[in-house]
Amino acid sequence: RAQRIGVAADLTDRRITILLRAAAKKRERAMLEQRHRLNNLFPVITALVNMVGAPDNDIARYKQILIEKIGALQATHLLLSRDGSLSASLRDLIAQELQPYMGTHNISISGPEVKMAEGSAESFAMIVHELTTNSVKHGALGTPAGRIEVAWQFAAQEPGADIVFEWSESGERRVSTSARRGFGSLIIGADGEPIVGHSSKLEMLDHGLKYSVRLPPKAIGAS
C-alpha cells in the first residue's frame, strides 16, 4: 500500500509540474503577444503625432484632437485583445465607430467576412474614425435625413486580391470642403496616400460624399 501511495504521489507531482509549465508557457505567450501589439501600436501613434498640427496655433484644440485619435486607437486595441487573436473583423472595426448612431440614423454596413491584420487594423480604424467624425460635424450624421452606406468587396475573384472599401453619404452637407483640410485629410488620403491602403479617392458632392480606398493582401486575410 505504501508503494501505491508513493506512485500516486509521484504521478500527482508530475501532473502539477506539467500544469505549472503549461501555465508558464501561456503567460509567456500572452506577454509576447502584448509586446507585439504595443510594437505595432507605437508607429501608428508616432504617425498621428507627426501628422497633426495645432489649428490656428490653438494648443488646447491640438490636445483635444490628439486625445480623440488616441482614444479611437485604444478602442481598436481592446477589440484586438478581446479574443486573444492578432486580427480584427473589418465589420467590427466599422460598427465600433458607427454604433452610437445606429439607432438614430439610416446606416447600412455590408461586405464579406474579412479579418484585418494587427497594425493595419489600427490604421484602418483611424480612417473610419475620421470619416465618422467628419460626418458628425459636416455630413450625414449631423442631420436626421442623412444616410450612410458602407460596403466592401474583393476587387477580383482570384486569391490575393485587394479589398475595395467604400463609404457613401447622402443628405445635405453643411460644409462641403471640410474633409479636404487639416489632419483628417492626411489620414484618409484626400490628396495623397492614406495612412493604410492605397488608391484613395474622395468625391465631394452637392448633397453627399463618396470615399474609397483599396486595402492590399498584406493588410487583410479573408476567412
pTM: 0.69
Q: Which helix (H) or strand (E) holds 115?
A: strand 114-117
Domains of the chain: 2-222 (3.30.565.10)
Q: Which amino acid is at 15?
A: R
pLDDT in tens, 103-136: 878 999 999 999 888 778 888 988 998 898 888 8
In angstroms, the CA 116 to CA 95 distance is 14
Quick check: 190 and 123 in contact, CB under 8 A?
no
pLDDT in tens, 26-67: 665 555 555 545 555 566 666 666 655 666 777 787 777 677
pLDDT at 3 over 70: no
In angstroms, the CA 214 to CA 223 distance is 18
Query: According to the model, what pLDDT value does residue 156 have?
Result: 87
pLDDT at 19 over 60: yes
Stronger pLDDT, 73 or 144, i.e. the higher one: 144
Burial 143-172, CB ≥16 within 10 A → b, else e: eeebbbbbebebeeeeeebbbbbebbbbbe
CA 168, distance to chain mean position in Å, is 18
Q: Which helix (H) or strand (E) holds 216?
A: none
**Band (157; pLDDT cuts 50, 70, 90):** confident
